[in-house]
Structures are given as structure tokens and as C-alpha cells.
Amino acid sequence: MRIRSLAIACVPLAVLALPAAAVPASAAEAPKFETVDVNEDGLVTFAEATDADDEWTEEAFSAADQDDDDALTEEEYDAGLKARGQ
């Protein structure tokens, strides 16, 4: 009885784990602007970007930072993700 209920408890976990394992890392969606902007000042700094998403490089960040203020607005961030192929 005890073993059987344990087996039943494991089924939902196995089902949940499957879709995540089936998605290749490269196809994972980049985090949203609101998620990345941890201090909610409406700008994403390089530190915030790389903390949330290690795909950001300094080059990609600089290219996305259209006005060179070392921070990305939501528009700049989204454009930067598109430039990266996301």
C-alpha cells in the first residue's frame, strides 16, 4: 500500500519533467523585460541582463543600446533579443 501510493505520487512529476527535457536549450525563450529589470527602473543594465540570461554578450548589449546610455529600454531590449535571433 505504501509503495503503491509512492508510485502514484511520482507520476505527475514524471509528466511535468518530460516537456522541459524535450525543449532544446537554444529554443528556450529569453526572459521578458519586466523579469530582467530587477529594480524596476524601466531600464535593463548589462548586469541585470547577464544575471537573468547568460546569452548576453557585451557586444550584443552595446549593439542593442541605441542611445549609448549603458542601459536598455524595453524597445532596445526587445530589438536586442531579435538581433540575437529571439
CB of 41 to Ca ion, least distance (A): 4
Nearest to 20 by CA among 31, 8, 10, 28: 28
Q: Give the residue with the Cβ less far from Ca ion, 20 or 40.
A: 40
Residues lying near Ca ion in the complex (CB under 5 A) are found at: 37, 39, 41, 43, 65, 67, 69
Q: 29: buried, middle or exposed (CB in 10 Å: 19+, 13-18, 0-12)?
A: exposed
Please name every residue paired with 61 in a beta bridge, in sequence order, or none if there are none: none
Q: Give the residue with the Cβ less far from Ca ion, 12 or 40.
A: 40
CB of 53 to Ca ion, least distance (A): 14
